[in-house]
Structure 1
């Protein structure tokens, strides 16, 4: 019995480490009916009580929710995108009425207009009220629902910050309207469009035509990405498009890579410390997230500052690291390196020695710090 209870406890403990899936029935006054929602909360949502999360809104959640939610969980686990709340709207056969448009204006009409208001005036405010959300929303749709997401670009400001359009079945005049509307949007928009070589012919051709138009748009705030997957069908392209879209939209969020280190940091003429601050300011401005700077990014920028002999940058990076990770050796090591290189070895020695009781980080061990202190002591006879 004791073994069984221990096993059950371990299972429950383990479940808390994984994303939470919640099913809800949402009574919509706009639709005059209830809609079934499927919601995935990030891992450790309940314990990170001060953290806020972007929203990933999934239409056609009957079949799109799992691939989207799985990729969001995977990418956020490796810090390639922020942890996010995934909200799926189950539609089934109602998707055709939900996405219907007026035959004269080609904008949402009748039930389509009601569904448009349900999303913008009921569902998103409800999610914002119930959960800890950041002010960044991505929508995901496929054919009819992909076209429908575009209508939110015509709100002022647009409801969504990011649009993942998988083989959209475009309404008449949509292409012309998008080309006219997008350059007039002042805020930053992320727009992903995908088709496949084995997609439905008419949809593939219209998607390619739209790509040709969007590629030529001149707008600093419009971030556009396109894929035409070789061999992908109308339904299989989702499996390739969803991870590609998330990777591209959240590229600025990712930790500093080896490529970024080599091709950007080591070639900077401006202070490397400012590059680090700017990177996280962009993340805050775009996604409404104020996370601590990653240890990886501290090490990458500090190493680049050493290689470029940017000692004032190294001091700034070390000071910030000491503030954000005071119980680790991270900031002490790089502050000591700063004093070593700027002619104050005695200060460096004391800093290295003073960090003996702190937590080690990556390659920065206590032994490494004490060895540097001993070398300074031997070289200068302190």
Structure 2
């Protein structure tokens, strides 16, 4: 009877996991459907192949470009996503959702599928697996340095040459991929600015990664950022002991050796397991990396305050980050109608154009602002510029005809 109960509980837990995963995937599909509703096809990204001389093999990668990419000339940060074939759909959905309202910057996502995961993600050679047994499947381990060389010297070099990147790079890895991301974090010569390690395998090779921490290393990477998550709890599983112990020890040593608190975060997701934790981890990890991106009470801020906030953010991150176009325009719209502050609304819209000179929507809102006060000549000028940039906007075309007939 006890065995039957155990089997039933295991089956029930599996059903709960399936239901949770279905909910996450359904949410992401809704995001994609909304963003792609103007086209017959919903295009999330594109697939590419690169010949690697370093790895001596062909590698594929999947690419996601932000919604604004085709209509702007700005540059974008890059997320490099390990286990790309597994995480691409969910990760791009999260990035698109968070950036759409300006919670994080828009980003290019480059997802790298695996060929030999054991080889590429491990910084040392070991045949000992998680439970302490010898595993011949791990005979190719220890190729992390070469794989990181491929990522930086070949893949990212191609991405930088073909797309408008701003050199801010985030390396995201789950499980053994989290081990690799953290290994790159502890390597001062590596060019990544930020790291997300999702339930990372710090137990690997007798806690190899933990032995790399010392104060001299930390001094060289003090401006990098790292977010680490962990899954599950001891009441549900004692199998997590080696993983959890190594993760907590790593974080403690990181802080004890001088890593600033503002640049490192360790978060528990004890109701998730190793399989379900990536979605929440990426969501919260991106929030942590860009925790100062959003300006509090932005709707009450002036154009000067908004510009100053993003200048300070850029100085802190070492890369220029512009105020999000949607955010500026939303604040301007609020001031125009809700705040009855036309003067500051116009300042914001003109600031938006200084950052995004090819924005049809900003020209349209400017036209609307001048139309409200009866300055039809100026309004027509901005509406016409908006229509030049976006000839598909029938609403603007109609307004232009109305203004010309007045």
TM-score, length-scaled by structure 1 = 0.67
**SS in structure 1 at match of 2:123:** coil
What residue is the counterpart of 1:39 in the other structure? 63
Q: Look up the match of 1:232.
A: 272
Find the aligned partners of 2:124 and 2:172 in 1 and give their Cα distance: 23
Question: 5 Å matches for 1:287-306?
Answer: 287-290=319-322, 292=325, 294-297=328-331
User: Which of the residues 191, 215, 223 maps onto 2:263?
Assistant: 223
Q: Partner of 2:210 in structure 1?
A: 175
Question: Tell me, what secondary structure is at the counterpart of 1:253?
Answer: coil
RMSD: 4.0
Q: Does 1:21 align with 2:49?
A: no
Query: Is the 1:39–1:87 Cα contact (8 Å) retained in structure 2?
Result: yes
Unaligned runs of 5+ in 1: 1-10, 334-350, 361-382
Aligned to 1:113: 145
Which runs of no fewer than 5 residues in structure 2 stay unpaired?
1-35, 127-139, 354-361, 384-406
Q: Is the 8 A contact 2:302 2:344 kept in 1?
A: no
The alpha-carbon distance between structure 1 residues 73 and 237, as it changes in their structure 2 partners (threshold 3 A), is same
1:118 is paired with a residue of what secondary structure? helix
SS at match of 1:231: coil
Q: Measure the CA separation in 1 of the matches of 2:153 and 2:184.
A: 12
SS state of the match for residue 71, structure 2?
coil
Question: How far apart in 2 are the matches of 1:157 and 1:288?
Answer: 22
Equivalent residue number for residue 195 of structure 1: 230
- Distance 1:296-1:213 versus aligned 2 partners, 3 A rule: farther
Within a 5 Å distance, the mapping from 1:1-382 to structure 2 comes to: 14=39, 20-45=44-69, 47-92=70-115, 94-102=116-124, 111-170=143-202, 171=204, 172-180=207-215, 183-185=218-220, 188-198=223-233, 200-216=240-256, 218-219=258-259, 223-254=263-294, 256=295, 260-261=296-297, 274-285=304-315, 286=317, 287-290=319-322, 292=325, 294-297=328-331, 319=347, 321-324=349-352, 327=363, 354=375, 358=379
Given that residues 188 and 221 in structure 1 are in contact (C-alpha distance below 8 angstroms), is that contact kept between their aligned partners in structure 2?
A: no
SS of structure 2 residue aligned to 1:233: coil
* Structure 1 residues 159 and 301, CA gap change in structure 2 (3 angstroms): farther
Q: Secondary structure at the match of 2:173?
A: strand
Residues 87 and 169 (structure 1 numbering): CA distance in 2 closer, same or farther, change over 3 Å? same
Q: 1:284 Cα deviation (Å)?
A: 4.2
Please give the alpha-carbon distance, in whole angstroms, between the structure 1 residues aligned to 2:93 and 2:351. Answer: 35
2:26 match: none
Decide whether the 8 Å contact of 1:189 with 1:222 is kept in 2.
Answer: no
Contact kept? 2:228, 2:266, Cα under 8 Å: yes
Instruction: Report the 3-state secondary structure (helix = DSSP H, G, I; strand = E; otherwise coil) of the residue aligned with 1:159.
Output: coil
Give me the TM-score of the superposition, normalised by structure 2.
Answer: 0.64
Q: Which stretches of structure 1, 4 residues or more, deviate above 6 A after TM superposition?
A: 299-303, 314-317, 328-333
Paired with 1:186 and 1:64, the residues of 2 have a C-alpha distance of: 27
The question of whether the paired residues in 2 share the 8 Å contact of 1:318 and 1:332 is answered with: no
Contact 1:60 1:89 in 2 (8 A): yes
